[in-house]
Structure 1
Amino acid sequence: MVTRSDRYKDQFLAILAHELRNPLTPLRMGLDILNSQPSPERAQQIHAVMDRQLVHLVRLVDDLLDVSRVSQGKIVLKKERIPLSDIIQSAVEAARPLVDSGRHALRVDMPVRPMWVNGDRTRLAQVVGNLLSNAAKYTPPGGKLSLEVHREGQDVRIVVIDNGLGIPLAMQSKIFELFTQVGEHTARAQGGLGIGLALVKQFVAMHDGSIAVQSDGENTGSRFTVRLPLLAEIPEGASANAGQPVRPEHPPRRILVVDDNEDVAETIGWLLSEMGHEFRLVHDGREACDAAREFKPDAVLLDIGMPQMDGYAVCRAFREDPALRDLPVIAQSGWGQEQDKNKTAKAGFDHHIVKPVGYDDLERALTLAIQSRRIAHPVP
């Protein structure tokens, strides 16, 4: 007998397969076109498409992982004093590809007076970015979107409005439930896994806020309102950038890349070369120590899941070798939950980055690992 949970599971898996194939299709086709040596203009267009689809694919995977973490109570917020304008800017940048591809007009209304919240920069940007992305996905081409920010007493209201497909009245009480799909919207728009709004509600609640939805029904557009508590304003004369890190200049470095996947290692090498760094590739963990003694790197990018000798064993070998024990070692892995990061820290790694790694994340990881190792082990 097929139960209700079985039907939900089958429906979710079907939607997941569909959503994963969507970005994989232009990635596969883009590679085929690039192999035919297209014109520089066409190649640039293909690169832009592939970049957008890769970002979308990573976001799907991250959402799936976040659902697991939230359900197990393993989400840990890194709260700090943040200017609300930074969150709005990050969210708009994240949603911009969907907005532009839908040829939508986006209006952003922010008050001039600065506002500050105590929150996790990444998660709050994810909240607003998800709402904007949904507005773009569920609005027919050429629609109108708006993002309005209003101060209301000790709170701030962040309102995302669209003139799109709307939400049936019967569905509005369920819209924030996990795996909820609204009627025929999956066929009429770019769809989704039905987990984004559930995550949004969880993240808003973890910031002592609330979220509400309003729609007059199908084809009437939607309005999502997030309410968050504000922090006291910075006193006049104080620096608005106090406590904010200053991005340092990055000198050329020597980086040893240890990864048994030759394609992954080579592309990381290309990225390091674009950054101005020198690199050497090693595909067997057993050769890492010898390569480090010869190459004398400033830092090591070390894969975890290697055969013969995994990343944990290689890192321990570095720490036990008097000539290598002070090398900054960065774990790079597809596993990125807190227990995974705790495990690499216990093994002696200085930092942990999760694949796939972008330019800024890689440069930041190298800087942090090298600086932290120098502070912990200063040169006499």
Structure 2
Amino acid sequence: MSNTPTPPHDPRQQEGTELNPDLAGLLHDLRTPLSAMRTALELIDLDPTTSRQASAIRTLEMAIDALLAMTQDFLDPDGLPSPRASAHDTAVEAISAVTDLFAADARARGLRLDCDIAGDLEAYGIGDPLTLRRILSVLIDNALKYTGEGRIAVTARATHGGARPALEVEVCDTGIGIPQAERGNLFRPRKRGERASATTAGSGLGLWSAARLAASAGGRLDLVETSAMGTTFALRLPLVAPAPDPERADADASNIRALPRRRVLVVDDNETNRRMLEAMLGAFGVDAVLADGGRDALERLATEAVNAVLLDINMPDMDGMETLSAIRALKGTPANLPVIGITAAILPNHRKLEDAGFQAILDKPVAPAVLFAALDRAMAEANAAGSARE
């Protein structure tokens, strides 16, 4: 196999146009129902499921994560992808999950889809498993499209030639190959070869998007070899060592228990988000008081005692910062009342928000285990502070 990588085109130099404001608004609004769907799946996953149901949940989570990441990429094209995946997702798990996702399609086409993962990868984590999944999905999907017979082989290993270990994944197919004259356009947006266009439909954005994601994650995507016998792409991404311990992560999730009977004020202008948080709090044995905005929250606090507040940062009329300031100034409200901010912002300024007085900042979609840990810690700290002043 020859090793003559083709440097991917930098898509950030391709177009300087700004995103249409209406489209930007639509993409931002899509994050709310997608976040609700992601959280609903995590709530379902707290209950016993069959292996088939658990597999379906993982597939849905992957699909929702990809959609969430796509909205982020359009809204913040120069930012880093958000690693919204399970806390213990390793490179091995991500590669296996994507390969399994395409296994049925490969069988339906009469193709073999083989996956060979070196044992040394088990010792490493991946900094951005969602980006790995998205790039690998593009590569396998393309291989299936352009391979009429034979096989697709996915191989993965850890390499140690640089300053830090790296993941190297190769996707090799026995497809139609790429003519020499068309290879220079492989990683450019909306560029498709004549042979590819005649074989199957496509937008010409897959490899461009994959190369862009790889570069933004500190890696690269290369064309290694192509001929009439098939094509091989190589993906390289930085690894993280040591890998998170799945058993420890599962143990953390199992620590969700019934909290001492408490009342928590949920402030969010979106009813779906309010109901989702109410359902999670109910699973913890916590009563929820619901408010649809800052002014409603202040009215509730004037008449009802609560032990903590979950406060959406981005709301019309009164945003989270304004509401927090008003809560702190409200007569009769305990000075140590925990207020936890919740945000769907693409790049939230956690330091600024924490300096404003939030005990913690949680990113949407909020995982039940993350919400439980934040509430448990915030209320325990508030109780300790109250006892110290007595």
Q: 1:303 touches 1:332 (CA, 8 Å); kept in 2?
A: yes
Q: Select which of 117, 124, 127 maps to 1:110.
A: 117
Deviations 1:114-158 (A, max 9, x none): 6645x7x442x2343133201232133698443323355555552
Deviation at 1:351, TM superposition (A): 2.8
Distance in structure 2 (CA, Å) of the matches to 1:288 and 1:247: 32
AA at the equivalent of 2:320: G
Partner of 1:279: 288
- Does residue 217 of structure 2 align to residue 203 of structure 1? yes
TM-score, length-normalised on structure 1?
0.64
Paired residues for 1:1-380 under 5 Å: 54-65=64-75, 67-69=77-79, 86-93=90-97, 96-97=100-101, 100=104, 103=107, 106-113=113-120, 116=123, 121-123=126-128, 125-140=129-144, 144-152=151-159, 154=161, 155-163=165-173, 166-170=177-181, 172-173=183-184, 175-176=186-187, 179=189, 181-183=191-193, 188-189=201-202, 192=205, 194-205=208-219, 211-217=221-227, 220-226=230-236, 228=238, 241=245, 247=252, 249-253=255-259, 254-273=263-282, 277-292=286-301, 296-321=305-330, 323-339=333-349, 341-355=350-364, 357=365, 361-371=367-377, 374-375=380-381, 378-379=384-385, 380=387
Distance in structure 2 (CA, Å) of the matches to 1:88 and 1:367: 27
Partner of 1:31: none
AA at the equivalent of 2:258: P
Q: 1:135 touches 1:162 (CA, 8 Å); kept in 2?
A: no
Distance in structure 2 (CA, Å) of the matches to 1:166 and 1:274: 54
Distance in structure 2 (CA, Å) of the matches to 1:135 and 1:298: 50
AA at the equivalent of 1:330: I
Deviation at 1:247, TM superposition (A): 0.4
Distance in structure 2 (CA, Å) of the matches to 1:143 and 1:255: 58
AA at the equivalent of 1:112: G
Q: 1:303 touches 1:311 (CA, 8 Å); kept in 2?
A: yes
Distance in structure 2 (CA, Å) of the matches to 1:295 and 1:101: 56
AA at the equivalent of 2:73: D
Distance in structure 1 (CA, Å) of the matches to 2:284 and 2:105: 30
What's the secondary structure of 1:378's corresponding residue?
Answer: helix
TM-score, length-normalised on structure 2?
0.62
Deviations 1:253-298 (A, max 9, x none): 5442211222432344345446665423211311314434765445
Q: 2:341 touches 2:358 (CA, 8 Å); kept in 1?
A: yes
What's the secondary structure of 1:317's corresponding residue?
Answer: helix
Deviations 1:16-69 (A, max 9, x none): 99xx8xx99xx9xxxxxxxxxxxxxxxx9xx97976654442131133345322
Distance in structure 1 (CA, Å) of the matches to 2:217 and 2:186: 15
Query: Which stretch shows the higher mean deviation, 262-271 or 127-136?
Result: 262-271
Instruction: State the number of aligned residues.
Output: 322
What's the secondary structure of 1:327's corresponding residue?
Answer: coil
Classify 1:276/1:102 alpha carbon distance in 2 versus 1 (closer, same or farther; 3 Å): farther
Classify 1:285/1:223 alpha carbon distance in 2 versus 1 (closer, same or farther; 3 Å): same
Classify 1:150/1:309 alpha carbon distance in 2 versus 1 (closer, same or farther; 3 Å): closer
Distance in structure 1 (CA, Å) of the matches to 2:68 and 2:223: 27
Classify 1:52/1:334 alpha carbon distance in 2 versus 1 (closer, same or farther; 3 Å): same
Deviation at 1:214, TM superposition (A): 1.7
Q: 1:147 touches 1:158 (CA, 8 Å); kept in 2?
A: no
What's the secondary structure of 1:367's corresponding residue?
Answer: helix
Distance in structure 1 (CA, Å) of the matches to 2:228 and 2:239: 32
Q: 2:342 touches 2:363 (CA, 8 Å); kept in 1?
A: yes
**Percent sequence identity over matched residues?**
20
Q: 2:258 touches 2:283 (CA, 8 Å); kept in 1?
A: no
Distance in structure 1 (CA, Å) of the matches to 2:317 and 2:344: 19
List alignment gaps of at least 5 residues for structure 1: 28-43, 235-239
What's the secondary structure of 1:212's corresponding residue?
Answer: strand
Q: 1:256 touches 1:299 (CA, 8 Å); kept in 2?
A: yes
Distance in structure 1 (CA, Å) of the matches to 2:267 and 2:150: 48
